[in-house]
Amino acid sequence: MKRKNEIERTFDESIAYLLKKAREKQGRSQDIVAQEAGISRITLGKWERGEKTPNTFDLYNVLKVLHLKPCDFWEELSRHFEATARPLRIAAEQTKIRAYIERVRKNRS
Could you tell me if 88 and 7 are in contact, meaning their C-beta atoms sit under 8 angstroms apart? yes
Residue 40: CB atoms within 10 Å = 13
Domain 6-108 has CATH 1.10.260.40: yes
Predicted TM-score of the model (pTM): 0.76
Q: Per-residue pLDDT for the chain (109 aa), expressed as one digit of tens each?
A: 678 788 888 999 999 999 999 999 999 999 999 999 999 999 999 999 999 999 999 999 999 999 999 999 999 999 999 898 887 777 777 777 777 778 877 887 6
| pLDDT tens for each residue of 37-52 | 999 999 999 999 999 9
The two most distant CA atoms of the chain are separated, in Å, by: 66
